[in-house]
């Protein structure tokens, strides 16, 4: 299943990607992993660390948006399934 199949919309990239470029869940997650790796490795200036942290926050928000959309779709599908099952018993 692709991120476009589970999200309810697109999340906009800010910072590292092109302005207005939509990020899928997997792309945002992979970039977030790389940001965390770079921060944990150290060796960056304070300014670079702050920029990485800000980018990480943006990427985490993109991931959160995709996951919330997926949760809403799953909840809706389960509710529909419950309604159908309830209708069969009546």
pLDDT score of 82: 85
Q: Where are the domains of the chain?
A: 3-89
Per-residue pLDDT of 27-84, as tens digits, reads: 999 999 999 999 999 999 999 999 999 999 999 999 999 999 999 999 999 999 888 8
pLDDT score of 15: 44
Q: What is the pLDDT confidence band of residue 86, given thresholds at 50, 70 and 90?
A: confident
**What is the distance between the alpha carbons of residues 21 and 47, in angstroms, rounded to a whole number?**
24
Residues 6+ apart with CB under 8 A from 62: 11, 13, 23, 25, 28
Q: What is the pLDDT confidence band of residue 21, given thresholds at 50, 70 and 90?
A: low
More confidently predicted of 12 and 42: 42
User: The dihedral of CA 42, 44, 45, 46: what is its sign?
Assistant: negative
């Amino acid at each position: 299943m692709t991120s476009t199949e589970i999200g309810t919309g697109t999340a906009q990239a800010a910072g590292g990607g092109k302005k207005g470029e939509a990020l899928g869940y997997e792309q945002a997650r992979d970039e977030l992993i790389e940001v965390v790796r770079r921060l944990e490795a150290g060796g960056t200036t304070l300014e670079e660390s702050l920029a990485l942290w800000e980018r990480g926050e943006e990427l985490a928000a993109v991931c959160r948006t995709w996951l919330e959309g997926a949760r809403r779709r799953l909840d809706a599908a389960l509710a529909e399934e419950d309604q159908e099952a309830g209708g069969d018993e009546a």
